[in-house]
Copies of this chain bind each other. A is one copy, B any other.
């Protein structure tokens, strides 16, 4: 018999992910602190959870998909949280992107109560969630991952064991460093080129065709130079990830000079109220600094 799955946090990402589980035949008990989000999934066939504790009490496997580290800590370890229904045999998979340190703390604390934990953040965004092609980075015991792999496979395309508890979050942090700097690199290239009078479309074309190629340029370059910053992945989320990264780097004593610059540029995006734009919009900050728009004249 398939395990009963509790799903806590059925916002943009969780909404799609929990549906894939139901389509695959899993019974899902859903809960979100926003009642309308819970209701939306219940209307599609999920059972209604009344709290995180209630969901954990009624499930074999609890999955969370929440905004940030404090949310996960509250849901996992706080009042009415998973910990209040913790028991031998319960499995907890956190798919949020949070601080590696928080993931380790949650796994250790719940582990003492017999709960086996996996951190399993994803990349691929809403489109990846919708199409069940998320890339899942897992941290925890290998045998636990094998046990829950059929569940993760219904939501993702690739599932990689990255190491022990927290390692999934660490690799997600590494991923967000690289993506941020790929976008900042594209932005600085476009702005220098534009100010020197070169059509940004030519820069994208030449760079994409050679050693400078990046997937973010392939996907967002042609849109950025038309001023199209519809997300995609919102700047506010990437800024949150950069906050996690810089805090983690501070804790571990890892100087990240270029990522620190990216963090400040994303802070400027927030200061300008552009958190809802795609993260490629970091180019707008550099454009304003240089007093030039990197927009193509081509159609």
Which residues from chain A sit less than 8 Å from chain B, CB to CB? Answer: 100, 123-124, 135, 137, 158, 160, 162-164, 166-167, 170-171, 173-175, 177-182, 184-186, 188-193, 195-199, 202-203, 205-207, 209-217, 219, 245, 248-249, 252-259, 261-262, 264-265, 286, 289-292
Contact = CB atoms under 8 A, between A and B. Distances in A.
Contact of A249 (B123, B192, B261, B265): B192
Contact of A213 (B197, B215, B291, B292): B215
Q: Is the interface of A mostly helix, strand, loop or mixed?
A: helix
A240 to B, nearest CB: 17
Contacts of A191: 254, 256
A195 B167 CA distance: 11
A175 B218 CA distance: 14
A127 to B, nearest CB: 11
12 contacts: A160-B206, A170-B196, A171-B203, A171-B206, A171-B207, A177-B192, A178-B212, A178-B217, A180-B185, A181-B185, A192-B248, A213-B215
Given A135-B209, A137-B206, A171-B206, A264 B256 contact: no
A196 B184 contact: no
Given A135-B209, A170-B193, 4 more contacts: A171-B203, A175-B210, A181-B258, A182-B212
Number of copies: 2
Among A123, A135, A206, chain B packs the most CB atoms within 10 A around the CB of: A206
A134 B69 CA distance: 47
Q: 3 tightest CB-CB pairs across the interface, nearest first?
A: A181-B185, A174-B189, A178-B212
A56 to B, nearest CB: 28
Contact of A211 (B177, B189, B210, B215): B215
Given A171-B203, A180-B185, A210-B135, A196 B100 contact: yes
A221 to B, nearest CB: 10
A176 to B, nearest CB: 8
A180 B182 CA distance: 10
Contacts of A198: 162-163, 167, 170-171, 174
A256 B192 contact: yes
Contacts of A190: 174
